[in-house]
Amino acid sequence: MNLPITSLLEIAEGAVTLAGRIVRTTPPGAVTAKGDRDMATEVDYAVEQTVRDFLGRETPEIGFLGEEEGATRGTDAALTWALDPLDGTANFLHGIPLCGVSLGLIHRDVPVVGVIDLPFLGSRYTAAEGHGTRANGTSVCVSQAADLESAIVAIGDYAVGADAAEKNRPRLALTRHLAARVQRIRMFGSAAIDLAWVAEGKIDASAMFSNNPWDTAAGVLIAREARAMVVDLDGSPHTMNSRGTIAAGPKILGELVTLIADARQAAERTGWLAELFS
């Protein structure tokens, strides 16, 4: 791909502008069940198709991965657009304005362009590798919280589905550990919002035990370019193949990673005891 990264960011913004217009003006329509307590609306599918078509015209050589309809290969194997057409669908269905469009460009498992648009909040976050992060055109930077006791930490949604109980052991353990340490815990129901608000300094950290590329590609770059540290659950460098996504200001990342390790160990012990006495 020969286009400069700033041009690719402009293209991504054009796609997200179209998407945001659909989200703001279109009712949810029919709801499609995707599994236990998981769903997509007509808006999810309309946004994904619109963005897929737009990017197919503007950057036909770049592949595309959408949450609802999967992947389309491009001739440039190193690059892929990753879209969550409506991150926070459950919020959207209930009239909660914490939802948005998340579009990232991934180069060999690392995001290099990101745009998150929150249509009902009037907020847009943009980043291109090496060019910093902007919120509605103004440069932003991660918070400088000095310790977890002064930090607001967002956590990802609890798991649903057939294996939810097993997946939620470490999530519930993390909630307990955080409740004993941090100033406040928040659950917004949108990975895009969690990461964008870390970038803007509205919250001090976010922790999610999941890492779907469509959920995190844009937000990871937006957080990084705002000088947040973004790592996997064990503190190793974060990629699109990571198991989870931890983002925090540099002063509290180490504390948070240690606390997450403690929570996961506690969850493993709980799981072993549950097996023993079942």
**31-58: per-residue pLDDT in tens?**
888 766 777 889 999 999 999 999 999 9
Average pLDDT over residues 116-139: 98
Question: What's phi and psi for 264, nearest 5 deg?
Answer: -65, -40
Number of helices (H) and strands (E), helices first, in the chain?
7, 15
Average pLDDT over residues 128-156: 97
Q: What is the pLDDT of residue 2?
A: 77
66 CB-contact burial (10 Å; exposed 0-12 / middle 13-18 / buried 19+) = buried
Taking the whole predicted model, whether its pTM rises above 0.85 is answered as: yes
Q: Of the candidates 88, 96, 126, 98, which has an alpha carbon nearest to the alpha carbon of residue 203?
A: 98
CA distances from 158 to 162, 176, 209, 256 (A): 13, 13, 9, 19
